[in-house]
Structure 1
């Protein structure tokens, strides 16, 4: 029997050891704490981070989260380090080891020099570096590989040269701020449909504005005197001395002076004319506003800039003694963040934010506040009156709202509690309200309200109501205030329900009378079917395009859509009350609109026993098949990043 040959053990062990060493990098990664400490060490003036940025501790530990670090579960998703005086060379290579990093906010610090290599972070969605001292040119292809970028703020730095052409090829870019720099090129085509906010003001841009960018208006281009084109109202023309002949007048000093004098007179004439038009317009507008206020306030969007004193009175005044619990969900603070998925902020950010008045609705006044450092615009609602619910009970209600997760529900982000004042904060809908889109905007957005879009909106509202009636099934009014002004729209016309579940907070107060569910025929005998009535009004409003008189306290004005549609259904003439802008689009489309009218009529039945239940109404709405969507939806997968 042949002897068994034994393999030497040392080479085998050595070979196995080498294999293990080779595989180690595939299974072991550097911890987020190590990465962030490495990033911190590349910076200067970092004392504000010393207390919480501790190596060996998890940056996402809820009990002691690192300052300025945003997390989703246990993954670092964002850095929000602004107004800290930070300087130095940003170690982008270190940050590239954070696989979940999607947002960087380093605004209003003291960084300088060329733009760092943020283009290495190809999965970045938001970059905010405004208010620093970055300078120099940015290469044309810098942003070419950052295809997921949605929000970019480079404003108020010292960038110069050409605006990078690669910005025009970012398919998901939503916001672009380049104002307050020294860019001196022509304006590149920025025609992607996803782009909704653009600011190129205060640069040295030249030449003609591309025709496809007129939709951004004059404000996006102001402060660039050498730009011409439709948005700025300056006609583009060739240089007078360009031909050197051919009848063109030579540019002598005398001719230049004469031309300059003529331009001054022309500008003076234009200014005088505009001033006169503005005076007349304001006079008529003021008269119209007085008439409108006599009716009822409908939460319509009133875009009015808040002066510093007005803003102080609206938000600051009652919160002077409050301490910001930024990023905290502690019960002890006056300001409580109940949902961190859209970013972390505190009361101090709200007090310093630029704000606009949105209106004074039944539940209270509302303000729009922009928080650019986290790329978020919020609505702050100041509740007019609540019952004597104590802080713990109020906190419980707010947390329920903050925990909601549905693509047709706008969850609460934060609240501020004091006996004399209560604020609730939610995200702002970029398209505004359904009320405004139906009755206030007669432009491009209104033209997108084809039959397919209206069906989509109604189905989304029904889906949101079904969710609320499940989550708040024990409430008398799971929503209680459903109307078109409380339905916000995303850029893809997905509806987001707001102002829901406030009944426990306002029951027993005069504010209860302002909730739309109390306008149902049964009045104070409220039930889940009061919400069904509200859903029916929305359906009739969307299909007919008429403003419902039911929204007005005295019902003087608008159209009694319930009676009008009920009569049409009884006479078999439903097609005659369909909004003319969608009527006649095809038998299939009209047939679906008729079915929706019939559902709306059944939801607004005055006899509660005969009125549809919420479950039956939603079932019948879902049975209606969508018609073909004709307009392109720019980024449907980005409606709610949190999901």
Structure 2
């Protein structure tokens, strides 16, 4: 019957039917974009994308001569986007990102994106999203994260999000880090019954109600800045708070507006007053020809209030206000340092070298309370949290008098100008004859020394290669320096997002008193420095070798201590094993189970041993060492290899690398550094001086 009806149709009807059939059968298949095409389409959706000039049609993103900027690659496949601080804005074309099948990590921090949260929920395989420091706003739908079961790390801090915290976040069973601070979230905090959650920050929002019991393990600082919150953690009785007369939202909003307006007026008045007062005091000091007074707020280490911390208060400014503040600061600094005098009670100005973290002054640091992070051969370090939520580290250096002020300014300025993904430069400094303050960005994850045993082989290799890239950059920028770094060791390697390493505490050797160099810098513990008192670029190579051997063996090097007490002499231990063909026996058991990678691990072990040769003449040159490090691969020379990571609560790098095969995660959180026994006594100023075991995430910037 169907055939008969078809035959009875008019010729015009036949034409339509056959046209439809033809189009269905012979229409081209939907074109699937290549990774390069998808990335170029993404770039075109951005505004101000000049920083992505390396994204050029006709080139290969991951396997060409030059890897496209901001990509995390594995075996020629894009696994992550790392586009932080590039001045990007515009639209984020999430549809194009769906074409990058192995994408697991997205970082767009410190850009200028705005509007509602991107539709990243379409990318259900994402494991880490970093959107901090943008202008995103509006409410986030409650079910926004319902289909993102793989998500482990979510950073939305320093934006303008409003509304309730999305309830779907509570369903993310693998969530490790959640940072929502410095937004305008309101309502109550939902129950987070997520055992894997180890890092939480909800501070500086408009949250209210009782803090859930499921979050009682987190510090009060995770909830500070929310006037409506209560609970034992904050020392506020919820029953008593409930008895207080309620305030309407409209009144609250108007009060907030009035408070903001009042704060701006007060801040302006205080700024003007401080400048005028500073000028008067400076004139009095000059007229009386008195020397500079001691900086009591930083000198009295036994003062309980002062030992507490530096909380820096910074008012949020628009662009015009920022420029105004800069001009005032510049003018004040010129007036206050013409003859080395200071502008406030013998205290000079704070010189900002990088204002990406905000504009602040010395008075902010003096008024602040500070959390002591550690003490070492050069001085002390403190963590300071600014009013806008940005954290910095203040390093108070006592033995940095080898140069006069002009020379010191020039040396520090060179450090402040550095820009590289694997280098952490200072962002500000303060000069006094007796001591100096050097300010850095605070890296919350901590340093390599205390996190090493959390890391699998791919992550450790990534860190070694990142350190090498940072050193290559330093050696290029400081080509004429005898000691471009001078203090490379695992506690001076900070770990950023996805465990990307940041080398710090470099370039200090010209500034430190000669009598203190051997105690202050690890390069001065190299064999040639100990025997002959001489250091060179080969001393940096020695330090690199120690770090490589430490990473591969998991042993704490006795070389760090310098007193023969504690740790393992990994240089002699590894050299003997390699000569006997037993190199793989020394590998950390946590990584040696990766049988397909043993050859590459041994290759890197040999490089580390060659760098740590006691005779500097037999040691590798730095650039040769870097070249050999970059040749090491995860699993040797075979096609189609995949990363098989040992899951851990800190497997940020693994998140970028397990794209090709799903895994069942078993959670383990190991603390400490096994080779340092409780009986090992460490002298003041030694390698381990600094943060204790109270908070592993605060192990940043011990001064030594």
Q: Which TM-score band (shorter chain)?
A: 0.5 to 0.7
2:363 pairs with one of 319, 340, 348: 348
Whether the aligned pair in 1 keeps the contact of 2:170 and 2:192 (CA below 8 Å) is yes
Please report how far the alpha carbon of residue 347 of structure 1 lies from its aligned counterpart in structure 2 after TM superposition: 1.8
Match of 1:422 in 2: 436
Residues 571 and 190 of structure 1: CA distance in aligned 2, closer, same or farther (over 3 Å): closer
Number of corresponding residues: 423
Equivalent residues in 2 for 1:456-605 (5 A)?
Answer: 456-523=462-529, 524-586=533-595, 588-605=596-613
Does residue 373 of structure 2 align to residue 358 of structure 1?
A: yes
The secondary structure found in structure 2 opposite 1:393 is helix
Please report how far the alpha carbon of residue 127 of structure 1 lies from its aligned counterpart in structure 2 after TM superposition: 7.8
Please report how far the alpha carbon of residue 413 of structure 1 lies from its aligned counterpart in structure 2 after TM superposition: 0.1
Q: Which has the higher contact order (CA 8 A, sep 6+)?
A: 2
Scaled by the length of structure 2, what TM-score is found?
Answer: 0.51
Match of 1:371 in 2: 386
Please report how far the alpha carbon of residue 398 of structure 1 lies from its aligned counterpart in structure 2 after TM superposition: 1.2
Match of 1:285 in 2: none
1:204 pairs with one of 204, 209, 215: 209
1:389 pairs with one of 403, 411, 421: 403
Structure 1: distance between partners of 2:415 and 2:383? 20
Does residue 462 of structure 2 align to residue 450 of structure 1?
A: no
1:239-266 deviations in Å (ceiling 9; x for gaps): xxxxxxxxxxxxxxxxxxxxxxxxxxxx
Unaligned runs of 5+ in 1: 1-71, 78-99, 105-117, 130-137, 228-303, 316-323, 439-445, 637-643
Structure 1: distance between partners of 2:111 and 2:600? 42
Please report how far the alpha carbon of residue 541 of structure 1 lies from its aligned counterpart in structure 2 after TM superposition: 0.4
Residues 468 and 226 of structure 1: CA distance in aligned 2, closer, same or farther (over 3 Å): closer
Structure 2: distance between partners of 1:121 and 1:579? 42
1:76-116 deviations in Å (ceiling 9; x for gaps): 99xxxxxxxxxxxxxxxxxxxxxx99679xxxxxxxxxxxx
Please report how far the alpha carbon of residue 488 of structure 1 lies from its aligned counterpart in structure 2 after TM superposition: 0.6
Whether the aligned pair in 2 keeps the contact of 1:381 and 1:423 (CA below 8 Å) is yes
Structure 1: distance between partners of 2:111 and 2:628? 41
Whether the aligned pair in 2 keeps the contact of 1:489 and 1:495 (CA below 8 Å) is yes
Equivalent residues in 2 for 1:124-203 (5 A)?
Answer: 125-126=132-133, 141=141, 150-152=156-158, 163-165=165-167, 175-177=179-181, 183-184=187-188, 186-187=190-191, 196-198=200-202, 203=208
Whether the aligned pair in 1 keeps the contact of 2:555 and 2:567 (CA below 8 Å) is yes
Please report how far the alpha carbon of residue 505 of structure 1 lies from its aligned counterpart in structure 2 after TM superposition: 0.4
Whether the aligned pair in 1 keeps the contact of 2:374 and 2:380 (CA below 8 Å) is yes
**Most deviating of 529-538 and 214-223:** 214-223
The secondary structure found in structure 1 opposite 2:372 is strand
2:620 pairs with one of 612, 621, 631: 612
Structure 2: distance between partners of 1:313 and 1:343? 16
1:347-392 deviations in Å (ceiling 9; x for gaps): 233234442211112222111111141x321111111212342222
Equivalent residues in 2 for 1:78-117 (5 A)?
Answer: none
Match of 1:310 in 2: 307
Alpha-carbon RMSD: 4.8
**Most deviating of 619-628 and 421-430:** 619-628
Please report how far the alpha carbon of residue 571 of structure 1 lies from its aligned counterpart in structure 2 after TM superposition: 0.9
Residues 325 and 566 of structure 1: CA distance in aligned 2, closer, same or farther (over 3 Å): same
Please report how far the alpha carbon of residue 343 of structure 1 lies from its aligned counterpart in structure 2 after TM superposition: 2.6
Structure 1: distance between partners of 2:401 and 2:431? 13
Match of 1:233 in 2: none
Whether the aligned pair in 2 keeps the contact of 1:565 and 1:601 (CA below 8 Å) is yes
Structure 2: distance between partners of 1:73 and 1:597? 36
1:405 pairs with one of 419, 438, 461: 419
Match of 1:236 in 2: none
Structure 2: distance between partners of 1:314 and 1:214? 24
Whether the aligned pair in 2 keeps the contact of 1:568 and 1:574 (CA below 8 Å) is yes
Structure 2: distance between partners of 1:603 and 1:591? 19
Residues 329 and 567 of structure 1: CA distance in aligned 2, closer, same or farther (over 3 Å): farther
Whether the aligned pair in 1 keeps the contact of 2:310 and 2:370 (CA below 8 Å) is no
The secondary structure found in structure 2 opposite 1:582 is helix
1:383-411 deviations in Å (ceiling 9; x for gaps): 12123422221111111111101110001
Whether the aligned pair in 2 keeps the contact of 1:326 and 1:347 (CA below 8 Å) is no
Whether the aligned pair in 1 keeps the contact of 2:486 and 2:540 (CA below 8 Å) is yes
Structure 1: distance between partners of 2:133 and 2:194? 18
Residues 489 and 313 of structure 1: CA distance in aligned 2, closer, same or farther (over 3 Å): closer
Whether the aligned pair in 2 keeps the contact of 1:327 and 1:337 (CA below 8 Å) is no
Structure 1: distance between partners of 2:486 and 2:403? 18
Structure 2: distance between partners of 1:121 and 1:162? 14
Residues 338 and 219 of structure 1: CA distance in aligned 2, closer, same or farther (over 3 Å): closer
Please report how far the alpha carbon of residue 468 of structure 1 lies from its aligned counterpart in structure 2 after TM superposition: 0.9
Please report how far the alpha carbon of residue 487 of structure 1 lies from its aligned counterpart in structure 2 after TM superposition: 0.7
Scaled by the length of structure 1, what TM-score is found?
Answer: 0.56
Whether the aligned pair in 1 keeps the contact of 2:458 and 2:654 (CA below 8 Å) is no
Whether the aligned pair in 2 keeps the contact of 1:187 and 1:205 (CA below 8 Å) is no
Residues 310 and 561 of structure 1: CA distance in aligned 2, closer, same or farther (over 3 Å): same
Whether the aligned pair in 1 keeps the contact of 2:383 and 2:393 (CA below 8 Å) is yes
Structure 2: distance between partners of 1:427 and 1:496? 11
Residues 148 and 355 of structure 1: CA distance in aligned 2, closer, same or farther (over 3 Å): same
Whether the aligned pair in 2 keeps the contact of 1:486 and 1:498 (CA below 8 Å) is yes
Residues 634 and 215 of structure 1: CA distance in aligned 2, closer, same or farther (over 3 Å): farther
Whether the aligned pair in 2 keeps the contact of 1:353 and 1:371 (CA below 8 Å) is no
Residues 435 and 167 of structure 1: CA distance in aligned 2, closer, same or farther (over 3 Å): same
